[in-house]
Amino acid sequence: MTELYAIVLFLFVLFFLLGTGVWVGLALMGVAWVGMELFTTRPVGDTMITTIWASSSSWTLTALPLFIWMGEILYRTRLSEDMFRGLSPWLARMPGGLVHTNIVGCTVFAAVSGSSAATLTTVGKMSIPELRSRAYPEKMIIGTLAGAATLGLMIPPSLALIVYGVTVNESITKLFFAGVVPGLILAAMFMGYVAVYSVVAKDWNPTPEPQMSFAQKLGNSRFLLPVFALIAVVIGSMYLGFATATEAAAIGVIGALLLALFQGSLNWDSFRESLMGAMRTSAMIALILAGAAFLKLSMGFTGLPRALADGIAAMELTRFQLLMALLVFYIVLGMFLDGISSVVLTMAVVEPMVRGAGIDLIWFGIFVVVVVEMAQITPPIGFNLFVLQGMTNHEMGYITRAALPMFAIMVLMVFVLIWFPEVATWLPETLRSSPV
């Protein structure tokens, strides 16, 4: 009965605070404060300060603001223009044509950004006008951007995986490598859909691209070298064991600054704007993490996480049934909260269930990120939808319908992960057994 009372109380206070417009991080702290006052005699203020400090002083967490800063620097370079010029000659003759630049461009930028919004904005600001000028279907332009931009949450360096790893105390590096193969498979699934659509759709009649020789294509590929070099250095340094995730993030910042300098886009204004943008995003995520850490402690005093885990165990759900329940749960939650908030808010309760079911936490991190990706394109709070609305001036309903096929492909990806778990676990296990 105490656990039921605690659940009702926590949910009521949380949704009341969120409904009144309180920031997510402060709402989590408010819920935790109420729980501490009612379920323990410990001094709430001292406990909160200690918990917030402990959650904020993690060396692993240092990778988060550094990767955010790297993405902010690259956002202010000519990276999107260079990627389009380098990719378009090779993709123009594929079924689906230059729409593939949305997907491949988002995949490439995701590997140096970690942010879904930054990926969407950087690639979209260049590809939307170019694809429109070539008469590609508007819904396909918008839909592929909405879906492919979510790869920023999976392909390393992923901010969502950093937050998940810190929350459940798992290796950030292993989580990064667990996201590589699923991210590439999901990108390939998006491209497969575009290819099939281009063959069967009646409204597919883009302007043909001029023929280019192989030498000309190679010449244009030089524009891709800087970003591929940056990806190789950041990801390669972690895989070869030369750097931790935090050290690789610092290397990435230096590489991004050098890239911006060589492109001539680094000046005092762009440097200051990138720093301020990174600070705002990092502070927002840090506040959410601090609130989640305090809430996790508060819920621990009620015994709620363990009671829920025991209750789920008593239902004797199979592993598949539990994952289906969590899939629906996160999709519904994602309609009202952003991805990172969904992860930190639920892990205190979900983690004991997952451990009790014997599910690998590295694999589960990828499962959660795929589902959280869906939250980026589900109304009413899908952040990518809002970004696209600002970029295209379309109504929210139009953008949501355009993104619906990508949502269905992500659901299919969830089942791919369940049926073939090695997709996510093979690379981290290879890393673990590597001599370096």
Which pLDDT belongs to residue 413?
94
- Domain total of the chain: 1
Which pLDDT belongs to residue 435?
39
In contact, 13 and 34? CB cutoff 8 Å: yes
Q: In the chain, how many H helices and how many E strands?
A: 21, 0
Question: Is it true that the peptide bond before 129 is cis, omega within 30 degrees of 0?
Answer: no
Question: Is it true that the peptide bond before 95 is cis, omega within 30 degrees of 0?
Answer: no
Which pLDDT belongs to residue 405?
92
- Residue 119 vs residues 145, 165, 336, 384: alpha-carbon distances, Å: 9, 22, 22, 10
Task: Note if the pTM is more than 0.85.
Answer: no
88: Cα separation from own chain's centroid: 26
Looking at this protein, which amino acid is placed at residue 187? A
pLDDT, averaged in runs of 10, over the chain (436 residues)? 64 74 78 80 80 74 80 77 81 86 86 75 82 88 90 81 85 88 93 92 81 81 83 82 83 88 84 87 78 75 65 75 86 72 77 84 92 79 76 84 91 93 87 49
Buried b (16+ CB within 10 A) or exposed e, 184-206: ebbbebbbebbeebbeeeeebeb
Give the tokens for residue 312: 């789920």
Which pLDDT belongs to residue 386?
76
Q: Which residue range forms the structural domain that includes residue 416?
A: 2-433
Q: How many CB atoms lie within 10 A of CB 273?
A: 15
